[in-house]
A and B are shown apart, each in its own frame.
Chain A
Amino acid sequence: MNILVCVKRVPLTGGKIVLTEDERAISTRHLGFTISPHEECGAEEAVRLIDAHGGSSTVLTLGPPEAEEQLRDMMAIGIDRAVHLITDGGEWDPQATAAAIVEAIRAEAEPYDLILFGNESADAGNYQVAIRVAHALGLPCVTGVKGLGVDGPSVRCEQEVADGRDVYVVPIPAVVTVKEGLNLPRYPSVPGRLRAKRKPVAASTPARPEPRLEMVRLMLPPGSSKQAEVLGRGPEAAPAVVGVLRELGLL
């Protein structure tokens, strides 16, 4: 099998978001970076599927030069190679992102059997890049998958819905977006990190088209800070807590 997993570099936001002066990005001066949580499960699943079925796994990102850090992280958990579509760090809208990914996929020597995405990115949350890629390539797309099994020429996908799970069985090649909970992603090992340093990264610099979904500025939601009533310190606070529970009619 030949599997591609697409990831996005995002800041580790912690407890309080601070914006840059131009209000077009999160200030990352004191922050580390990671990929969207759903995508960690996508990469883990790709490694497990290749372990089970043989073949090759590739991780792709569209992002600034620094996003190579995330590509190396994914190769450290077992992904074989990387494709880096390098940007200047500015915002790419979902249509432009999908178009660049499609072009990169078409340029590959071997076609992919399975193209994995996170269900939505942690930061922008546009819910559409994978679906656009699937349409452009003429492939079926299943989203929000929390159970995945490759069975010969098809892939069985389970999606959580309100009262159970919906099952989709689609032929490969296919595009699948996954959600956290699909698996428990491993942490990179030291030997894994060393191996990742020598794995190949194919880099290119696509041109950014004019955005059709054009971010103007970011804003913090109004009234997002409260003044908590301190009920006490340590176990002595227990009677006050029970008082609150009684007031709320929960006892």
Chain B
Amino acid sequence: MSLLVFVEDPEDDLSRQALTFSRALGEELHAVLIGAPAAIDGLASYGASVAHMATGLDAYAPAAWAQAIVELIGRLAPSAVVGPGTDRGNEVLAHVAAKTDRPMAANCVSLTPGDPASLVRVRWGGSLLEETLLHGSPALLTVAPHAVAAETVASPAGLVIEEFVPQVSDADLVARASERAGALSAGVSLADADVVVSGGRGVGSAEGFGVIEELAELLGGAVGCSRAVTSAGWRPHTDQVGQTGTKISPEIYIACGISGATQHMAGCRGAKKLLAINPDGEASIFANADYAVIGDLHEVVPAISTEIRKARSQ
């Protein structure tokens, strides 16, 4: 038996995680790539023995990309088709599932093959896990980001490259990314920032973010906020950290006046350290924090900024 992995981008860590996850199942690993991505040689290092290159598709068209995978399922009869838990990974696999009328499981952290296959997948943006049975073969699934670390094999074998032109219909090409526009936000990107200073409902107003902005600027970081803040219209949604906002992974996350709802925690689980500032010592954010300051952010945050200036002037 073989296992087919949709490699969205051979140089992206999440695609490499999907290959690493799949390799552990011990079957011959086939990769499918759409378009002509560079650096496919590296795929062998992640355990792929065959790379199927679908050509003739330029712009991203999810239904057409899925059609390429549907053709390979017919040819290879793999035991499972695995994709990365990215926007496109989930979207393309969902189209494969819809086209073939099979069940599909998004964002899995483990797979025990069989029919039914037994899976563990994430719910609530990672706040909860679900054990689930997937009835039907091949199993269609995506791998939750960072469920496994991408690892290379000790001695990579040769990689066979096979090109093919999938037979896509006009209907498959109706929804396609036909043009690229500029980003909506500028400044230090929240997703990539080393320091994120966030404010929650406790900030109290749009103007109240002045002290948050000041501390973020002193640390060369980005300003974030909770969903309560964007719903109140105090900050734009581009600042929102959370399950339905931006997922961040800074060296330190400074959460000010944020209670720690699961919606918010789903966005900052990637932070290496979390410092929470909250007047309520029982706030649930403290159960997820490395460091705690119990107090009013309007007093604590300016004091930290003053202390940083003092430390720098010495």
Q: Using a CB–CB distance below 8 Å, which chain A residues touch chain B?
A: 13-17, 26, 36-38, 93-95, 98, 120, 122-128, 131-132, 134-136, 138, 140-144, 146, 158-161, 163-171, 174, 179-181, 184-185, 211-221, 224-226, 228-239, 241-242, 244-246, 248-251
Contacts and interface: CB of A to CB of B under 8 A. Distances in A.
B244 A125 contact: no
B241 to A, nearest CB: 12
Interface in B164-207: 171, 174-184, 194-195
B123 to A, nearest CB: 6
B91 A143 contact: yes
A244 B179 contact: no
Contacts of B55: none
Contact of A219 (B63, B128, B195, B308): B128
B181 A217 contact: no
29 contacts: A14-B261, A15-B285, A95-B103, A98-B98, A122-B263, A126-B106, A132-B94, A143-B87, A165-B181, A166-B181, A167-B181, A169-B178, A170-B174, A181-B240, A213-B105, A218-B123, A219-B128, A221-B128, A224-B127, A228-B276, A228-B289, A229-B290, A232-B295, A233-B295, A234-B295, A234-B300, A235-B302, A239-B307, A248-B273
A23 B262 CA distance: 18
Contact of B180 (A17, A95, A165): A165
A216 B62 contact: no
Interface residues of B, number: 94
B86 to A, nearest CB: 10
B183 A128 contact: no
Contact of B175 (A13, A26, A126, A140): A140
Nearest to A12: B261
A159 B302 CA distance: 38
A-side interface mostly: mixed
Nearest to B60: A166
B289 A226 contact: yes
A249 B250 CA distance: 13
A185 B233 CA distance: 10
Contacts of A238: 300, 303-304, 306-307
Contacts of A244: 252, 273, 275, 291
Interface of B: 60, 62-63, 87, 90-91, 94-95, 97-99, 101-107, 116, 120, 122-136, 171, 174-184, 194-195, 219, 227, 230-231, 233, 237-238, 240, 243-245, 251-252, 259-263, 273, 275-276, 283-296, 299-300, 302-304, 306-308, 311-312
B103 A212 contact: yes
A122 B290 contact: no
Contacts of B106: 120, 125-128
A248 B133 contact: no
A135 B131 CA distance: 28
A164 to B, nearest CB: 5
A218 B179 CA distance: 41
Nearest to A136: B98
A76 to B, nearest CB: 16
A14 B182 contact: no
A166 B287 CA distance: 39
Contacts of B285: 15
B132 A213 contact: yes
A127 B90 contact: yes
Contacts of A180: 237, 240, 244-245
Given A135-B98, A143-B91, A234-B299, A125 B123 contact: yes
Given A37-B227, A37-B244, A127-B90, A235 B295 contact: yes
